[in-house]
Structure 1
């Protein structure tokens, strides 16, 4: 890092439909890979990019945060926005760029992550919406859904919603927000936690919809969480409705 003088923080949005996910891949197309290609063209050398976290194939973002070190001394931070966007494909956009302290780390300095999952309810979705939302032919009971969601708040063992291949040493996560709201004819599930297990949000959403459709009692959902058994939970929702919405940091 001795050759670099500045640390630039980026706010990034992307359409995850045609990506293998955030993390760089040797063969498959990734968001991190496309951004690093643009940085390499700008710097004439490889520049690694650190993201706040990974998103899976097909998952989108409106609030991904990343940082990189640069030796370009005289370029104002906001000038990186058009410079990078001119080199990026249309499904990745840099929204903001700012100077960060040299020790800022997009992943390790994050206090919480917020995801939103979108569902089009009670009507046939337009073709373009199917890239960004789950089609639900009925209108779920919002009160019942939010009753289940409140049971998730707090420091809980999330094993019930963990993919069996998740490598995390601990499956405890602190969930500070979990609720549903309606925006037009779109049902949105919003959840905030200090971190998430692999496919955890999609597993939670699929399970909540499964329980709501069957009108299962709240106590049964609470017991499901305590069971720590993924086999008893509902299906994992598909990726296209999920957005990484926001990252909050301990420091600005």
Structure 2
């Protein structure tokens, strides 16, 4: 029994998130990324295979490099061959882009030390082909101000202000490694918000992105953002950004393991 780690890329637009949901639509299963990959694995293995992801992405959220692992009872498939084998049974909006064998006790969820998200914000007029993957805001924010606000997102922080109602986390503290805005080197009309942390609260990245853009446009100071962050009051957050611009960019396993 081998433990296989996959790197997964997907366009999340037409999915109800990552996590399999067997009874969400009147008792009927809904389309999820985990569910589609597990169906492909079942066709290869002739039995159900459980897939563990590094974390859940919400409806409409994408991934450049989600991490997920499963235990394969087949020893005859070379590990690199899992890429074309699984892709052959997947829809076009999911692609396996990497595969490797890992230790038996490895878990994509519990072995991960950090997750990095990138949010793409279009400040001009995007092409139709870009609309699934950006948030068009039609104005050019001051990146210097945005980065001064984001500079307060460092270290062990109570992120309750930016947790969505209904978040079931036992703690609202998260350890944020870094948060910054930068101009996309492929398109000067796109700015990117990148944030890396041990884990995230439900809709936290979208709430932070929407709040930062809203506060900058409203002429609020970086110190005001710090005041809102320290208030731990969800009512003081700005609007939540749409899911279209958000990508799970990277999952790391070689850093310091902190609380979940």
> For 1:18, which of 14, 20, 31 is the aligned residue?
14
Aligned match of 2:165: 164
1:76-115 equivalence runs, <5 A: 76-115=78-117
Q: TM-score, normalising length from structure 2? A: 0.93
> Equivalent of 2:214, from 195, 210, 213?
210
Aligned residue for 1:110, secondary structure, equals coil
The residue number in structure 2 matching 1:240 is 244
* Aligned counterparts of 1:233 and 1:210: Cα–Cα separation in 2: 9
Cα offset, 1:93, TM superposition: 0.3
Equivalent residue in structure 1 for 2:201, among 197, 208, 211: 197
Q: Among 185, 191, 200, which residue is 1:187 paired with?
A: 191
- Deviation of 1:59 (Å): 0.1
Distance in 1 (alpha carbons) for counterparts of 2:155 and 2:254: 19
Q: Number of aligned pairs?
A: 246
* CA deviation vs aligned residue, 1:74-97 (integer Å, no higher than 9, x gap): 211100000000000000000000
Cα RMSD for the two superposed structures: 0.8
* Conserved 8 A contact 2:149-2:223: no
Superposed, 1:45-60 pairs within 5 Å as 45-60=47-62
Unaligned ranges ≥5, structure 2: 23-28, 256-260
How far, CA to CA, are the matches of 2:193 and 2:222 in structure 1? 18
Segments of structure 1 that go 5 or more residues without pairing to the other structure are none
Corresponding position of 1:61: 63
Distance 1:220 1:83 in 2: 52
1:144-188 per-position Cα deviation (integer Å, ceiling 9, x unaligned): 000000011111100000112000110000001100000122110
Distance in 2 separating the partners of 1:25 and 1:162 = 22
SS at match of 2:212: helix
1:147 aligns with 2:143: no
Quote how far apart the aligned CAs of 1:250 are: 3.0
Stretches (4+) displaced over 4 A? none
Instruction: Report the TM-score when normalising by structure 1.
Output: 0.96
